[in-house]
Chain A
């Protein structure tokens, strides 16, 4: 083999090896993180964690019941804001895709997606905390909802576009108006995919901390009121993590484990649903 050919082969082999190594390199932190979080978190998960409130500073024990409830309420609020707006916007962008408004929406959605979550928190603070002079669950829900909107819009648009045009043509040929065709035929066809996407988006924002720091703030006590500050799993984990108390560190690991467990469950569920959808639509 000539020198040139040998050199080329060696270089090619080296690149292939590098790429494989890159994959391994990326998986190492993943394994590391999962190992540590679950390793420290599982032992700290007990009934008390899920049922009790945080104890006063320095006292061991207690749990994150209020934080778990808080996170659920917050993502519920966020979904309440983002899902209607997101799906309806997605319908517009899909139906009238050539208009300049549709382009503007697509562009803004991508921009909004990239805005740092702390900045969105600032916006929610100004619009929902300042006028009422208090932190509230609603403000937190607003911040999270704003983050969810671009995800839902993009996803709805793509899923609606994937519905075969024959379905739409069939409905229109039977005399349905555009609105009726969308709501009775096209949207239902895309709905399972949309729901899956909503699940995935919920999992993503459930893990957000920064936008809640000065909107929902935090709450040591049990509270489900929407106009009061509310605890959340993420902010609680943060507060405990940067504290000097070992017991609180333990609970922070536990909280992180619950977070990861929830996200993993959502992802696997979404994946399973997507597979089922693929199988259903295959001829």
Chain B
């Protein structure tokens, strides 16, 4: 029996092959580390100047040299979480329909259509958002009865652009992504589980509920992956959110997100502190999305492992 050495090769094999291919492979983790390092280095000025107060201050005034990034955290979390609330049930519904309820003939065309939805570029969503969604939201805002307008949630002039428009477009963008990962999870649940439930007299929903229970960690992972996407979404958000660094509870108020401020202000930032402040925002955005992605990956893997099949990555179309 041959033994495998540190490079994974068996004794008696050439050294060149694993070395060369390994050299290319090692670039990938190096890239991730490199990105973290570079972001860290380029934001040092801002980190040293402001420390943690950067994230507690809410005044963002580049002209006066005041940089407080709290509005961006607020806007990012508010818009993404609202979008999550709107998109998760729909995405789950789609996943359940495609895996358990759809008539056979409809399945492939519907899957294709959801993939199409996922393939539409962010800029196109933004374009559609500006010219179609924003006027619609504006009409909605105008139509809001006066008594409702008193509530902080609905305060403000009917601009159209603002948190609501951005969250809506984010929700639309998140749905196909979350739905496809959730569908893979449901597919990985052994059919014996559903059959067991049916054989005990379960209704359709009760059997599906058992499958959902079996895959619950993976489904949470799928939802988190969708959240990770939303947090980093740039173009559609910056075109619809109003780009105002103001913390507000109102759905109608223009606000700002981390990705949007970088996109908008980076090319105009002249002094080093301004630039470094923006990069620091990028660094935190990076860390947050890495953490969420790492966590959701672990969750999605667990369901795959239970089945003792190659762990949770979506199977390419060719194999299905």
Q: Do any CB atoms of chain A lie under 8 A from CB atoms of chain B in the complex?
A: yes
User: How far, in whole Å, are A37 and B24 apart by their CA atoms in the complex?
Assistant: 41
Asked if residues A214 and B128 are in contact (CB atoms below 8 Å), the reply is: no
**Contact across chains for A274 and B9 when beta carbons are under 8 A apart:** no
Q: Is the pair B17, A179 in contact by a Cβ cutoff of 8 Å? A: yes
Q: How far is the CA of A16 from the CA of B239 in the complex (A)?
A: 36
CA distance A207 to B122 in the complex (A): 7
Q: Are A111 and B25 in contact (CB under 8 A)?
A: no
Q: Is A138 an interface residue (CB 8 A)?
A: no
How far does the Cβ of B85 sit from chain A's closest Cβ, in whole Å? 14
For window 190-239 of A, CB contacts with B under 8 Å fall at: 193, 196-197, 203-204, 206-210, 213-214, 217, 234, 237-238
* B28 in complex: contacting residue of A84, A98, A108, CB < 8 Å: A108
Please determine whether B97 and A108 come into contact, CB atoms closer than 8 angstroms.
no
Cβ–Cβ contact A158 & B313, under 8 A: yes
Q: Tell whether, in the assembled complex, residue B316 and residue A158 are in contact, meaning their CB atoms are under 8 Å apart.
A: yes
- A179–B14 touching, CB < 8 Å: yes
Residues in B neighbouring A161, C-beta threshold 8 A: 310
The answer to whether the Cβ of B38 comes within 8 Å of any Cβ in the partner chain is yes
- Chain A 142-193 interface residues, beta-carbon cutoff 8 Å to B: 146, 149-150, 153-155, 158-159, 161-162, 177-179, 182, 193
Which residues of A lie under 8 Å from residue B225 when comparing CB positions?
Answer: 114
- A110 contact set on B, CB distance < 8 A: 293, 297
A1 interface residue (CB < 8 Å to B): no
Give the Cβ gap from B152 to chain A, nearest Cβ, in Å. 28
A159 to B203, CA, bound (A): 39
Residues of A within 8 A of B14 (CB): 177-179
Cβ-neighbour of B203 out of A11, A91, A179, A241 (below 8 A) = A11
Would you call the interface of chain B mostly helix, strand, loop, or mixed? helix
Which of B25, B101, B114, B292 makes the CB contact (< 8 A) with A88? B25
Total residues of chain A contacting the partner, CB 8 A: 101
Contact B203 A214 (CB under 8 A): no
Q: Does A115 sit at the interface, judged by CB under 8 A?
A: yes
A77 to chain B, nearest CB (A): 17
Q: Counting CB contacts under 8 A, is A53 at the interface? A: no
Is the CB of A269 closer than 8 A to any CB of chain B?
A: no
Which residues of B are at the interface with A, using a C-beta cutoff of 8 A?
4, 7-9, 13-14, 16-18, 20-22, 24-29, 31-32, 34-35, 38-39, 42, 89-94, 96-98, 101, 110, 112-117, 119-128, 130-132, 172, 175-176, 179, 203-206, 208, 225, 228-229, 231-235, 239, 259, 262-263, 266-267, 279, 282, 285-286, 289-290, 292-294, 297, 310, 313, 315-319
**Assuming A11-B203, A117-B232, A126-B42, what are 5 further A-B pairs, CB within 8 angstroms?**
A26-B90, A114-B290, A119-B289, A122-B266, A214-B266
Q: Enumerate the 10 nearest inter-chain pairs by beta-carbon distance, A residue then B residue, closest first.
A: A116-B232, A207-B121, A22-B93, A96-B8, A114-B293, A92-B21, A12-B203, A88-B24, A12-B205, A92-B25
